[in-house]
A and B are shown apart, each in its own frame.
Chain A
Amino acid sequence: MLIQQVFNGLALGMGYALIAVGYSLVFGILRLVNFSHGSIYAFGAEMAMVFIGFRFGIIPGIIAAMILTGVLGICIDKVALEPLRKKKSMPIASLITTIGISNIVTQLLIVFLGSEKRNFPALFDFGSVQIGHIAVSSTQIMMCVVSLILMTVLVLIVYKTKIGLAMRAGEQNSRAACMMGINVNFVISFTFFLAGVSATIAGVLVGSYYQIVYPNMGYMAGLKAFAAAVLGGIGSLPGALLGGLIVGVSESMAATFLGSTYRDSIAFIILIIVLIVRPHGLFGRKGITKV
């Protein structure tokens, strides 16, 4: 049972890791915790469900949802966050704004799609693999595979491409980057787009794992993924992965040994312990100012 629960936790954790990546991407460049990310994740999953419902194929449907969600990310930045940056408002203003946006996105989803849980097609339903006493479903395996691929792609983008270089430059000193001819606003938009796309992939994978999507799915998942991002060291992509896995497995363990009532608190208990012992997270660099 123990190993089975570890596997369940790993699949759960991969989902958190994919959401946590979005927090890290935006934090990495803006030093801003984007609390609307959980609702963007729910938006991506709901849109994927809607587009798949249109019957022009599952893959095009998911790609359309990814693009739309990415555009939503850009819109959020352009409409609400960029004006704040231009006015040089306090960082806390942006933070509160993201919380507000999170509510707006969720409520709009409820208005247009209803709050009920809806069926999401199982994308990787090839049965399950039996290893000894443990049953690992194909969806669990595919979740891990897709997450790792996405993580690799993101790391490559950030560390090996020109736009990645621009992102890192913008993070270190946006004014200096601007003077070097980098269009910082474009880079920020691109980051939000990337975060939206990864949130959609997370939404699709988690949605097809449980075969359920609903507007409020991003609330708890978003908070736990935030815990995972901080745990791994916010701003660090491998940290997000590791943090997600730790949160997922510990949640699964807590549900098994302490009862399902403790599962939602365990992520935050671990977060607090890690932050006391290692204030900058597992992979985080020193000197990062946290919100």
Chain B
Amino acid sequence: MNRKRAILVAVLSTAALSLLAGCGNAKKEANNTDKANADTVKIAVAGPMTGDNSEYGIGFANAAEMKAEEWNEKGGVLGKQIEIVKYDDKNTSEEATTIAQKIVSDGTAAGVIGHFSSGVCMTAAPIYQENKMIEISPSASHPDYTKIGDYIFRNNTVIEKEATASVDLAVNDMGKKNIGIISIMTDWGTNTSQVVKDIVQNLGDPDVKVVAHEEVMEGSDDYTPAITKLNEAGADVVICCGMYNLVAPVAKQYKAINPDIAIVAFSNAYSQQLIELGGDAVEGVCFPVIFFSESDDPIVKDYIENYTEKYGSAPSALTSQAYDSVGILLTAIEESGTTDHEAVRDKLREVEYPGVCGVTKFDENGEIDKEFVKVTIKDGKFEKMAE
């Protein structure tokens, strides 16, 4: 009896297994033929399209659509039109996981541009990696993000490099010695503040020190308690680890207490909205960027003009990085002559792409290395700092 049952189970399970395997194969083939026959090349754009931070996701989508239109006018890629498919992850990890699974199970996308914040990118990336889907984030700067795998790229500098540039701005360009740090409580903010502390410690200059570090909740508008503490600690420069919606209120509230305070920020605060929101208070705020909107380069000028005409506002640094990311992906697809993910991935490491953020080239880890431009705000405009 027992033996019979065992045999039955064994037979059934083999049958089930082979069925499953058969299904898998059939599905794969269907996908492949789909891909070959589809009349469009699809690129997925994932980011927060609604809710908090939606301006970033919408910026990604706008930039991607603009780039796709430019290519489509020239005849598309591989003789096919390019289609941008938008996904709204609301900048939450839960949504991002669902979206990542949707994208990989659909399988038609040539690649994914996006996910906005580092934490969200890092929950979605393993899914892409496992299913050999290319992901290029225009914004993630957490050091661990590209370590997830060889299909994971970022068109943004890793935070160590950017933080080094920010500290350099504060210490060498401004000549300040007592550094205060104010950071938002997210994966990115906590990590960035730690990175800044380490860099300051490794400078080897005993006069330069971090006098205080305050963590604040993202989105609370009242930063006066943290600012009062930084001010009591004698900070003469504040490094703001946060987006424009942190930098603008901090600048306002800090300058109400101490008008002489110097403020250094990061490239994710580089946005026209910083000036609109901050007004006079953000005058003199400095940051290192890899995209500079007031550049004399005709490519950049055209791009800014077209974007502003189309969407009614000037593109931010991250939007421009998304714009270039789409360009790189399309170039890699064209040069490899296929949308096969593996071939495109290999090509992505070879392409040297001249875009609005200078020449972009991924290294073997999917990282980019760029020269920073030091930018400050003067008379309500971004301006290159004097060397």
Complex formed: what's the CA distance from A66 to B228 in Å? 34
Task: Please tell me if B164 contacts chain A, counting CB pairs below 8 Å.
Answer: no
* Min CB–CB distance A212 → chain B (angstroms): 6
Complex formed: what's the CA distance from A115 to B273 in Å? 12
List, in ascending order, chain A residues with CB within 8 A of B245's CB: 116-117, 212
List, in ascending order, chain A residues with CB within 8 A of B279's CB: 119, 211
Task: Please tell me if B216 contacts chain A, counting CB pairs below 8 Å.
Answer: yes
List, in ascending order, chain A residues with CB within 8 A of B51's CB: 110, 115, 216
Check A115 against B220 for contact (C-beta < 8 Å). no
* Min CB–CB distance A204 → chain B (angstroms): 14
Provide the A106-144 mask, 1 if CB < 8 A to any CB of B, else 0: 010011001111110000000010000001010000000
- Name the CB-closest residue of B to A137: B256
Task: Please tell me if B53 contacts chain A, counting CB pairs below 8 Å.
Answer: yes
The contact sample of 24 A-B pairs, CB cut-off 8 A, is: A1-B232, A8-B222, A8-B225, A107-B50, A110-B51, A110-B54, A114-B55, A115-B51, A115-B52, A116-B273, A117-B245, A119-B279, A128-B256, A211-B279, A212-B248, A216-B51, A220-B219, A252-B224, A259-B214, A260-B214, A260-B215, A261-B185, A263-B220, A264-B220
- Name the CB-closest residue of A to B51: A115
List, in ascending order, chain A residues with CB within 8 A of B148's CB: none
Q: A110-B51, A118-B277, A119-B276 are in contact. Are A217 and B221 (CB under 8 A)?
A: yes
List, in ascending order, chain A residues with CB within 8 A of B349's CB: none
Task: Please tell me if A185 contacts chain B, counting CB pairs below 8 Å.
Answer: no
Q: A116-B273, A137-B256 are in contact. Are A216 and B225 (CB under 8 A)?
A: no
List, in ascending order, chain A residues with CB within 8 A of B214's CB: 259-260
* Min CB–CB distance A179 → chain B (angstroms): 48
* Min CB–CB distance B5 → chain A (angstroms): 53
Q: A4-B228, A115-B54, A255-B226 are in contact. Are A212 and B219 (CB under 8 A)?
A: no
List, in ascending order, chain B residues with CB within 8 A of A216's CB: 51-52, 219
Closest 6 CB pairs of A and B: A255-B225, A210-B221, A115-B54, A260-B216, A8-B224, A116-B55
Task: Please tell me if B217 contacts chain A, counting CB pairs below 8 Å.
Answer: yes
Complex formed: what's the CA distance from A115 to B279 in Å? 19
| A/B pair count, beta carbons within 8 Å | 89
* Min CB–CB distance A176 → chain B (angstroms): 45
* Min CB–CB distance B248 → chain A (angstroms): 8
Q: A210-B221, A220-B220, A263-B220 are in contact. Are A119 and B277 (CB under 8 A)?
A: yes
Complex formed: what's the CA distance from A217 to B229 in Å? 25
Q: A114-B55, A118-B277, A210-B249 are in contact. Are A260 and B217 (CB under 8 A)?
A: yes
Question: Given A117-B277, A210-B221, 19 other A-B contacts at CB below 8 A?
Answer: A1-B229, A5-B225, A114-B55, A114-B58, A115-B50, A115-B53, A115-B55, A116-B54, A117-B248, A118-B276, A119-B277, A210-B252, A211-B277, A217-B221, A256-B228, A259-B214, A260-B220, A261-B215, A261-B217
Provide the B201-236 mask, 1 if CB < 8 A to any CB of A, else 0: 000000000000011110111111110110010000
Check A210 against B222 for contact (C-beta < 8 Å). yes
Check A135 against B219 for contact (C-beta < 8 Å). no
List, in ascending order, chain A residues with CB within 8 A of B53's CB: 115
Task: Please tell me if A12 contacts chain B, counting CB pairs below 8 Å.
Answer: yes
Tell me the chain A residues, 43-91 only, with Cβ under 8 Å from chain B.
Answer: none
Complex formed: what's the CA distance from A260 to B189 in Å? 14
List, in ascending order, chain A residues with CB within 8 A of B50's CB: 107, 110-111, 115
Complex formed: what's the CA distance from A284 to B116 in Å? 47
- Name the CB-closest residue of A to B257: A135
List, in ascending order, chain B residues with CB within 8 A of A259's CB: 214-215
Residues of B in contact (CB 8 Å), total 34
List, in ascending order, chain B residues with CB within 8 A of A116's CB: 54-55, 245, 273
Check B55 against A211 for contact (C-beta < 8 Å). no
- Name the CB-closest residue of B to A219: B219
* Min CB–CB distance B218 → chain A (angstroms): 11
- Name the CB-closest residue of B to A127: B256
- Name the CB-closest residue of B to A210: B221
Which of A1, A5, A116, A212: most chain B Cβ within 10 A?
A: A116
List, in ascending order, chain A residues with CB within 8 A of B219's CB: 216, 220
List, in ascending order, chain A residues with CB within 8 A of B273's CB: 116-117
Tell me the chain B residues, 41-55 only, with Cβ under 8 Å from chain A.
Answer: 50-55
Which of B51, B54, B225, B232: most chain A Cβ within 10 A?
A: B225
Complex formed: what's the CA distance from A114 to B277 in Å? 14
Provide the B254-295 mask, 1 if CB < 8 A to any CB of A, else 0: 001100000000000000010011010000000000000000
Check A260 against B225 for contact (C-beta < 8 Å). yes
* Min CB–CB distance B19 → chain A (angstroms): 45
Q: A1-B228, A128-B256 are in contact. Are A212 and B54 (CB under 8 A)?
A: no
Check B277 against A5 for contact (C-beta < 8 Å). no
**Interface residue from B217, B225, B249 paired with A252 (Cβ < 8 Å):** B225
List, in ascending order, chain A residues with CB within 8 A of B52's CB: 115, 216
